[in-house]
Chains A and B, each alone.
Chain A
Amino acid sequence: MSDVKLAFVVQKPQYKGETSRLAITHAIAYQTVEILLEDGQTVTPKLCFIGEGVLGLQKGQNAMDLYGITSTESHMKNALLVDLDVLVCKEDLAKYGIPEDAMPNAEEMGADKSIQIVPFTEIQKAVEEAKHVLFF
């Protein structure tokens, strides 16, 4: 058994570019990586949103209706459904005036996990525990 811990640190706002969206989809892909690894080998990403990366995460998005694309909200819910740890920086939410209860959850879809709104020190801890850190 061998697990490689990763920290995906998202610093760019959703929708402004593609990279911040790709961070979420790449992290979700951890669920199927086992088909390319040996038995017992796993990859465990933590998805961390800091700085401007906390922008565009709020619930109530209508990207499908308005632009015909899946919303960041739906991707966040999918991330929770596949048991990813999703950390959002508490200080940065406060900095942009985003209430903590504006973060989406996937309870209605049966997810066991919720978005964790944590102080930056917790995100720093996730970064320190990771073997590799990927900045998006």
Chain B
Amino acid sequence: MGNLTIGCYPGLVGSMTYDFALKLADAAATKGHKVSIWFSGNATGSVKANQKHLKDYSTGEKYLKALLEKGVEICTCEACTVARGVKKDEGIPGIQWNAMHWYLAKIYSADRVLLIGGE
């Protein structure tokens, strides 16, 4: 099985790009591939716990928890996250917090890398 690293940069709300990144990660993990996701930029706002899922808006928490249960490694850029006012103890449990070198380290061993860009 392959090793896929996804860099995810778009915001949770405002486009379906973020949703696509998570769906793609889920599909790959379901097939048995090793998947890691790096959140940077506006995507980091999605790691805050206790999101209310209003049906008019995308939600991250429910799907992120499901991905974690499937063994997907998820890490958020700490600098990007705290810049958006999200504190570490407010984050979804299981999501790692680290610096940009985490993403580069995952890229090192990846068979495929997808950078799903922001705005």
State which size class the interface on A falls in.
Answer: 20 to 34
Q: A32 touching B99 by the CB < 8 A rule?
A: yes
* Chain B residues whose CB sits within 8 angstroms of the CB of A61 once the complex forms: none
Interface check A94, CB cutoff 8 A: no
Interface check A132, CB cutoff 8 A: yes
Contact with A along B88-106 (1 / 0, CB 8 A): 0000000000011111110
Contact with B along A79-106 (1 / 0, CB 8 A): 0000000000000000000000000000
Q: A4 touching B107 by the CB < 8 A rule?
A: yes
Question: Quick one: closest A residue to B79, CB to CB?
Answer: A25
Secondary structure of the B side of the interface?
A: mixed
User: For chains A and B in complex, what number of residue pairs have CB atoms within 8 angstroms?
Assistant: 62
CA distance A29 to B104 in the complex (A): 8
Given known A-B contacts A136-B115, A136-B117, A29 and B107 have beta carbons under 8 A apart:
no
Say which one of A14-22, A51-59, A70-78 lies at the interface with B: A14-22
* Chain B residues whose CB sits within 8 angstroms of the CB of A45 once the complex forms: 104
Interface check A37, CB cutoff 8 A: yes
Interface check A36, CB cutoff 8 A: yes
Given known A-B contacts A4-B108, A22-B9, A29 and B115 have beta carbons under 8 A apart:
no
Contact with B along A20-56 (1 / 0, CB 8 A): 0010011011101101110001010100000000000
* Chain A residues whose CB sits within 8 angstroms of the CB of B103 once the complex forms: 26, 29
Q: B100 touching A43 by the CB < 8 A rule?
A: no
